[in-house]
């Protein structure tokens, strides 16, 4: 079976509106979470907004972010010319775009104030995968994954299945989500948001900061002998333990990591680095950090890029897949901003500075509401 390779990537998030800008933010260790500007709120949890970015013509902001990253991904793949002649599928993860989370509309509806019903049309037209399928007139399958914070990672897993089973020649995959007042209140109610910039894996971390963005990967079957990034495998297991908290011990995150390693004949010491989920919540980082320590030991290079992007929910897996590929391609990974002290319950530290990475393999991990533990294995070669 031919390798499934990454032929294009695109990204937009608070760290930058394209991949070169994001890499520059990583190099300069820049981040700037702020009190929300996109909506009015009395809460004071900082957010990672994409600045000076506006949706046009009543388009949902999530779709606008997706369209932006998609353009970069298709351009970098040189794929526009191939779209019509090939079986092109789309699978996109999201959390916001599949819900009618419009407080202003709902207030007017409840109060009988003649709400703007074009907002309902906007909702019905904003299924992300179908939006892409429609805008590019594609002829393959379209699927929107609503798997909470692992949606983007699981979307790449679906894409891998489609390509391995010859349903498609090319798949546009990833995740997209906008910042929205409703989950902002919701995550606040769960007491998992921090009033300070997030500090993934740090002993004194106080919670996550929400973010927004889109990360898109173009996957195709290998057609050249050039060195490329390969999506080697995907695995996912459920905790079936708690709706919002990971299972202590991380048994099924371990199972997912071991599965992709075994399927690809890769040893733990072959992993150059891990782009971890690293939300900066007490529970996530403890379970994930312990699992990484148990499998890879103290010498593992790992980081959470959420300290640059915030937690972008359905977009996170897509963005972090892009960042894992960039790490392999560029030969370095970004400093885990905000980390100062090892949490004794975790026992290992993420990278404290921009770090070179050597090796052919990288992992991207995602944990989610609902107890999902999803893992992607990339290799270069």
Partner 1 sequence: MYINGIGLVDAKAELNISGMRRAGRFAKLAVAAATAAVKDSSLSLSGTETGIILATAFGPHATTFEFLDNILTYSEKEVSPTLFSHSVHNAAAFYVAAALNATGPTLSVTDFYHPFYQALSLARFWLKTGMCKEVLVGKSEESGKVMSDIVMVSSRPEVTIQEGALFILLGTQDNAKPYRHQFIDSPFEEKDMAKVANSLRL
* C-beta of 147 vs 309, nearer to partner 1: 147
**Enclosing H/E stretch for 22:** helix 19-28
**Residues 38, 167, 342, 357: which binds partner 1 (CB under 8 A)?**
167
How many residues does this entry show for the chain? 381
Under the binding rule (CB under 8 A), the answer on residue 124 touching partner 1 is: yes
197's CB contacts (< 8 A; 6+ apart) are 31, 33, 46, 209, 307, 337, 338
Tell me how far, at minimum, the Cβ of 167 lies from partner 1, in Å.
Answer: 8
Under the binding rule (CB under 8 A), the answer on residue 148 touching partner 1 is: yes
Tell me how far, at minimum, the Cβ of 162 lies from partner 1, in Å.
Answer: 7
- The interaxial angle of helices 19-28 and 316-330, nearest 10 deg, is 70
* C-beta of 140 vs 278, nearer to partner 1: 140
- 321: helix, coil or strand? helix
**Residues 18, 76, 101, 264: which binds partner 1 (CB under 8 A)?**
101
Please, how many CA atoms are within 13 Å of residue 199, restricted to the half-sphere of its CB? 16
Identify the CA nearest to 307 among candidates 216, 194, 214, 217.
194
Under the binding rule (CB under 8 A), the answer on residue 82 touching partner 1 is: no
Cα separations in angstroms, 251 against 141, 236, 275, 354: 34, 12, 19, 30
Under the binding rule (CB under 8 A), the answer on residue 136 touching partner 1 is: no
Identify the residue whose tokens are 């699927």.
143
Q: Near partner 1 by CB under 8 A, which window of 4-12, 68-76, 104-112, 330-338?
A: 104-112
**Residues 54, 110, 353, 358: which binds partner 1 (CB under 8 A)?**
110
Under the binding rule (CB under 8 A), the answer on residue 95 touching partner 1 is: yes
Q: Which of residues 38-57 bind partner 1 (CB under 8 A)?
A: 41-43
- Six token digits for residue 343: 């949490």
Catalog residues that contact partner 1 under the rule CB under 8 A.
Answer: 41-43, 95, 98-101, 103, 106-107, 109-110, 115, 117, 120-121, 124, 127, 129-130, 141-148, 154, 157-158, 161-162, 164-165, 167, 181-183, 185-191, 235-241, 243-244, 252, 255, 368-372, 374
């Amino acid at each position: 079976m031919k390798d499934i390779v990454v032929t294009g990537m695109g990204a937009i998030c608070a760290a930058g509106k394209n991949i070169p800008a994001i890499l520059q933010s990583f190099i300069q260790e820049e981040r700037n979470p702020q009190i929300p500007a996109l909506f009015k709120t009395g809460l004071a949890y900082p957010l990672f907004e994409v600045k000076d970015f506006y949706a046009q013509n009543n388009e949902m902001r999530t779709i606008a972010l997706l369209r932006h990253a998609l353009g970069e991904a298709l351009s970098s793949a040189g794929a526009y010319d191939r779209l019509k002649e090939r079986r092109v599928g789309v699978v996109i993860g999201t959390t916001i775009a599949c819900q009618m989370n419009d407080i202003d509309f709902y207030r007017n509806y409840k109060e009988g104030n003649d709400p703007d019903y074009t907002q309902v049309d906007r909702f019905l037209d904003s299924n992300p995968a179908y939006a892409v399928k429609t805008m590019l007139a594609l002829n393959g399958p379209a699927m929107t994954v609503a798997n909470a914070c692992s949606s983007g990672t699981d979307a790449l897993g679906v894409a891998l299945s489609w390509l391995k089973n010859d349903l498609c020649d090319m798949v546009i995959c990833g995740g997209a989500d906008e910042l929205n007042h409703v989950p902002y209140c919701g995550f606040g109610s769960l007491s998992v948001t921090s009033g300070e910039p997030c500090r993934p894996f740090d002993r004194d971390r106080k919670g996550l900061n929400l973010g927004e963005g889109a990360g898109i990967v173009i996957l195709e079957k290998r057609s050249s002998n050039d060195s490329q990034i390969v999506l080697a495998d995907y695995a996912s297991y459920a905790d079936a333990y708690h709706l919002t908290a990971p299972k202590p011990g991380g048994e099924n995150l371990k199972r997912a990591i071991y599965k992709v390693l075994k399927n690809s004949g890769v040893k733990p010491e072959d992993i150059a680095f891990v782009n971890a989920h690293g939300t900066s919540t007490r529970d996530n980082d403890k379970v994930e950090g312990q699992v990484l320590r148990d499998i890879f030991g103290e010498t593992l290079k790992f980081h959470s890029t959420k300290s640059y992007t915030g937690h972008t929910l359905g977009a996170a897996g897509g963005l972090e897949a892009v960042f894992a590929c960039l790490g392999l391609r560029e030969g370095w990974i970004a400093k885990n901003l905000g980390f100062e002290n090892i949490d004794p319950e975790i026992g290992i530290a993420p990278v404290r500075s921009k770090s070179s990475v050597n090796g052919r393999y990288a992992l991207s991990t995602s944990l989610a509401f609902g107890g999902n533990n999803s893992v992607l294995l990339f290799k270069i070669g």
